[in-house]
Amino acid sequence: MSRVLAISGSLRAASYHTQLLSCLQPLAPEGMHIALFPGLGDLPHFSEDLETDPPLPVRELWQAIAEADGLLIATPEYNGAIPGVLKNALDWASRPRGTSVLPGHAAMVLSASPGLFGGIRAQAQLREMFALLNVYVVGGPQVAIPAVHTRLNPTAEPEQRLTDPITRAMLTSLLHGLEEAIDHQAGRRLVKPLHHLQSQQAT
Ligand SMILES: Cc1cc2nc3c(=O)[nH]c(=O)nc-3n(C[C@H](O)[C@H](O)[C@H](O)COP(=O)(O)O)c2cc1C
């Protein structure tokens, strides 16, 4: 049984990325449970001044990442880069320095766009950032979905929502890669007592 935390980098109600994440559970290997993180829009703008006594949404993010065996990030591309809300969340997740809950996690990333290039620049940025944060990202297949609006039926049940068989096959393969990466990373997570979480929860 593996627990995967899925994060959509879009706050838009009809986000393609959130829709894509909602299609993935039926494609996942047996025993993998995917849960969507709901609180990206609640995070305050990152400031080091808030680190010592972070607001509840930040502690919830840390807790959700700490409890997950793997991460699954779907990022839009905004002006050639990852959206600010996602960068903000990853900046929070990377802190406090030395006790971040991120290092050692296995992760899978995907991107999509109504345009021709599938958000590949944002995805490349995300991969580079995760390398710096010691998060192990599954290498391939690299899933950057162009013309995403032609590959989803938003009104269908999750099992039928993803209408493009090639995208389905690639995402299925990627999810199996994530499962292998989670197994591979098991024991490599820097298991530290999460004093900063525990003490905050007590208050
Ligand atoms: C501020 C902004 C900048 C964008 N820049 C890009 C871009 O650089 N490349 C691209 O492929 N799409 C770009 N788009 C279009 C997004 O790919 C599109 O809005 C997509 O649907 C966003 O993901 P979502 O559906 O999950 O919200 C941009 C959209 C916005 C709002």
The pTM for the full model equals 0.93
Which residue among 8, 78, 110, 151 has the greatest number of ligand 1 atoms within 8 angstroms of its CB, and so is best to mutate? Answer: 78
35-to-6, 8, 23, 92, 140 alpha-carbon distances in Å: 6, 11, 12, 20, 22
How many CA within 13 A on the CB side of residue 26?
Answer: 11
The pick from 73, 113, 117, 148 for probing ligand 1's pocket by mutation, whose C-beta has the most ligand atoms within 8 angstroms, reads 113
CB-CB contact of 173 with 140 (8 Å): no
Give the whole-angstrom CA distance, residue 135 versus residue 9: 17
Q: Per residue of the chain (203 residues), what is the pLDDT tens digit?
A: 899 999 999 999 999 999 999 999 999 999 999 999 999 999 999 999 999 999 999 999 999 999 999 999 999 999 999 999 999 999 999 999 889 999 999 999 999 999 999 999 999 999 999 999 999 999 988 999 999 999 999 899 988 999 999 999 999 999 999 999 999 887 666 555 455 555 545 44
| Residue 185, CA distances (Å) to 105, 113, 165 in order | 7, 30, 30
Residue 104 is given by DSSP the state T
Residue 11 to residue 86: CA distance in whole angstroms: 10
Ordered by where they begin, the domains of the chain are 2-202 (3.40.50.360)
